[in-house]
Amino acid sequence: MNKTERVDYIQNKLEELYPETPVPLDHEDPYTLLIAVLLSAQCTDERVNKVTPALFKMADNPHEMVKHSVEEIEAIIKPCGLAPRKAKAIWTLSDILLKKHDGEVPASFEELEELPGVGHKTASVVMAQGFGFPAFPVDTHIHRLAQRWELTSGKNVDQTEKDLKRLFPEEKWNKLHLQIIFYGREYCQARKCHGIECEICTTCFPDRKRARDFKRS
């Protein structure tokens, strides 16, 4: 199976398995999505969804968030890990939103990535899931599967994002990045499939005998 055939097969298989792609992080608007994505760094979506109800009950918009101290925010988000850094970023970005953006989350990559705690991947998730803008957020999970499926040279997540955008049509990006995440969690886990067990891996590479090592970015 050549790369073009793999791309078609993977796209069709993921659509068959995941015709619906609900956003994994609970949120009500771009601001609460932004905060949830920020909290998800080195933390599971499940844990974030357990923490955010208390946080958003205290403050679900930048106007209310800046009324509370960094320490108050940190106490609530502690289960997510990296709490001191994340709490400071949440307070500071909320303050910036009020001062520079009239309290609204900007709908541009450049302005989002200027906010503390917001990298390109976080900005991509907000643009895709919050504003419906075509984006292909790539985290280590998608990076790992793209390597196993030989869709990328695998040097880093930035290169993987560029490669996936070239291979798949733009109108599929927002849905596809969630489909890949869902598939990875269910069938092609980091410490289980190793590129030689799940249906996509065995169908695309029936002659593969050795585990496909994951090169971290």
**CB 137, CB 126: distance < 8 Å:** no
Q: 121 an active-site residue?
A: yes
| Catalytic one of 29, 67, 86, 139 | 139
| Catalytic one of 29, 121, 158, 162 | 121
Handedness of CA 18, 24, 29, 33 (dihedral sign): negative
Handedness of CA 40, 46, 47, 50 (dihedral sign): positive
**CB 178, CB 161: distance < 8 Å:** no
Report residue 183 as tokens: 């598939």
Catalytic positions are 121, 139
